[in-house]
Amino acid sequence: MRSSFRGAGAAAVATALAVVVAGSWFGYQQLAGPSCSGEIQLSVAATPELAPAVADAASQWVKDGAAVGGTCIAVTVTSSDSVEVAAAVASKHGATLAGVGQASGTAVTPDVWIPDSSTWLLRLKNNGATAFAPGNGASIARSPIVVAMPEPVAASRLGWPDKKLSWTDLLRAVSSDKPLRAGIVEPTRDAAGLSGLLSLTAAASASGGDAQQATTGALRALATGRSALRQDLLARFPRSNDPASIASALSAAALSEEDVMAYNNTKPPIPLAALYLEPSPMPLDYPYAVLPGVEPSKASAARVLYELLTTQGFKNRLAAQSLRAPDGNWGEGFRAPQGAPSPAGGQSTVPPAGVGAAGGLDPVAIDRAVSGWSIATQSGRMLCVIDVSGSMKTEVPSANNASRAQVTVAAASRGLNLFDDSWSIGLWTFSTNLVGSRDWREIVPINPLSSNRSRLEQGLGFVRPSDGNTGLYDTMLEAYKTVQRDWEPGRVNSVVLFTDGKNEDDNGISQTKLLSELKALADPERPVQVVIIGIGNEVSKAELQSITSVTGGGTFVTEDPTKIGDIFLKAIALRPNAPR
């Protein structure tokens, strides 16, 4: 959700603005006559801070008598939050985005989508929307990510505006004995928050010592000051210039340059300083995405509209909205915050986490950041179940010939460090006939990590493969019953099971019996989510999916066991919010 501190222009575009525009195949500058016939309906959803500029440019085109090959184009420009359109696109393409949730019943995917960041396109592609291949994707605007701080706080705590600052400086200030009151807009739903999260966690990872502990500490420091909506976070900055108000208010948050400029345009009692920290975070880049499935005539109209949005005139319209052109330059009337880098300059040569050496986005880094955030900032109750059948002795060449079991335990151990003490976690292993004729063994019962962490660490250290087969069905049914039996409200109750094989228990229940039992147990008032992580090339994804289609949750399969750490975190992060 973008800031509510906007002028009348943004309010006017809050409802769809329909304008008739037309132009030439060879660019709007080669416009023909003012007459046209017919109509091509082109729908455009643009992020709120950009929508007025797009709508104004299209409206001017109409006034100039534009036409495309004699055919009129009607363009509907709608101000739409990026997360809402992302949810609709995800629903249409079968993707699941951590923290985004379901699309509203009225959400409709447009022909052209201009979100605030390319990270939305990447997250969709990397989280299930394999057929999602939007056209164009070029940036039409830019807004750097800054750390917004009340000017008195920036001056007294960090030496602004005279001192050149880094994300490591901010990390120290957030983690000090007298920490800054840091905040963030939920980074799973906000591109500026995600960019700030990537930069701060990169600084924590490079801080020396226990990098994971430093990263987790940074995540939790931010989590205490997170807001679901951007305007809610902005409202927490000091609204009075007395020292007590400043001391108790929000002290720092990752926002866009445009957000800070829009906020300061309201003449608040305490203006915000925009800190341009090094290395420079991913900016908001406003990609022009023509969504898949658009018919050819609309695609042609979209290409002409894109040309219109790359002119000097549009750059000046961007300036009126406190936005830069894609190259970092700005148009007439742009009033840069104090300390802003010169147009197109001031960018670090070292890309932050999430940005590749060529400026491209790193989907793995982004997924890790989103997953780590989701785990570190939520609370749940989970039973971890690890396959210890004989095939888990198989060596993994890409992991220095460690066994599948060792790679799995290492991934679970790393993940354990991300969970805070509010989580309740238990540990089982399974094969066949582990305890007499029973296929599973309880290593550690489900209890709060505040008292259970050391037992879990020790229990993981004693996980060893057996010589048995894979008693999947009996184990899954009993694990489900165990979690459901002591179900806790207000938390996500789940089973997370690792396996490298198919069910091979001749004396156990059948697949049909398992699925019928799970259907009978399923209770929408006491749901248990099941996440199954299949390892290697011997698993049956269809078999595993038959289980999670009944229980809810998800199935993740990788032939490369070294990837299960990232898959584990991603799987936990994708769980829905707990019912209340």
The 10s digit of each residue's pLDDT in 55-108 is 999 888 767 765 667 788 888 999 999 999 999 999 888 887 877 877 766 667
Question: Residue 11: pLDDT above 50?
Answer: no
Distance (Å) of CA 335 to CA 16, 48, 238, 294: 29, 20, 23, 38
Q: Cα–Cα distance between 198 and 202 in angstroms, integer? A: 6
Query: In the prediction, which pLDDT does 576 show?
Result: 52
Domain final residue pick, 275, 305, 326: 275
User: How high is the pLDDT of residue 504?
Assistant: 92
Select the more confidently predicted residue: 389 or 107. 389
414 lies in the same domain as 328? no
Classify residue 362: in a domain, yes or no. no
Note the pLDDT of residue 522.
Answer: 93
Mean of pLDDT values over 234-240:
93
Is 25 inside a domain boundary?
A: yes
The domain containing residue 247 runs over which residues?
145-275
The residue from 275, 300, 315 where one domain ends is: 275
**End-to-end Cα separation, the chain, in angstroms:** 24
Residues whose CB is less than 8 angstroms from the CB of residue 321 and which lie 6 or more positions away in sequence, other chains included: 9, 49, 50, 52, 53, 258
Q: What does pLDDT average to over the chain?
A: 84
Does residue 542 share a domain with residue 397? yes
- How many domains in the chain? 3
What is the reported pLDDT for 149?
A: 96
Average of pLDDT values for 24-49?
67
Residues 71 and 152 in one domain: no
Same domain, residue pair 212 and 341: no
Let me know if residue 175 belongs to a domain: yes
- Does 137 share its domain with 177? no
Would 282 be classed as within a structural domain?
Answer: no
The predicted structure's pLDDT at residue 329:
93
In a domain, 373, yes or no: no
String of b and e for 406-437 (b: at least 16 CB within 10 Å)?
Answer: bbbbbbbeebbebbbeebbbbbbbbbbebeee
Last residue of a domain, one of 306, 330, 346: 346
Tell me the CATH number at 551.
3.40.50.410
- Which CATH number is 25's domain given? 3.40.190
When pLDDT is averaged across residues 505-528 and rounded to a whole number, the result is 94
Is residue 288 within 8 A of residue 42, CB to CB? The reply is no
The model's pTM: 0.77
Same domain, yes or no, for 189 and 271? Answer: yes
In this structure, what CATH number is given to the domain that contains residue 263? 3.40.190.10
Q: Are residues 382 and 513 in the same domain?
A: yes
If asked whether residues 135 and 149 sit together in one domain, one would say: no
**370 falls within a domain:** no
232 and 218 share one domain: yes
The residue ranking higher by pLDDT, 565 or 445, is: 445
Q: Are 522 and 484 in contact (CB under 8 A)?
A: no
One domain, residues 56 and 166: no
Query: What is the C-alpha separation between 231 and 24, in angstroms, rounded?
Result: 41
Write the pLDDT tens digit of every residue in 252-296. 999 999 999 999 999 999 999 999 999 999 999 999 999 998 998
Are 266 and 329 in a shared domain?
no
User: Residue 122 domain-assigned?
Assistant: yes
Range with the poorest average pLDDT among 217-221, 289-293, 311-315: 217-221
| 282 to 12, 116, 129, 266, 352: CA distances (angstroms) | 30, 12, 23, 26, 7
Statement to judge: residues 316 and 426 lie in one domain = no
Strands 553-558 and 395-396, sheet pairing: unpaired
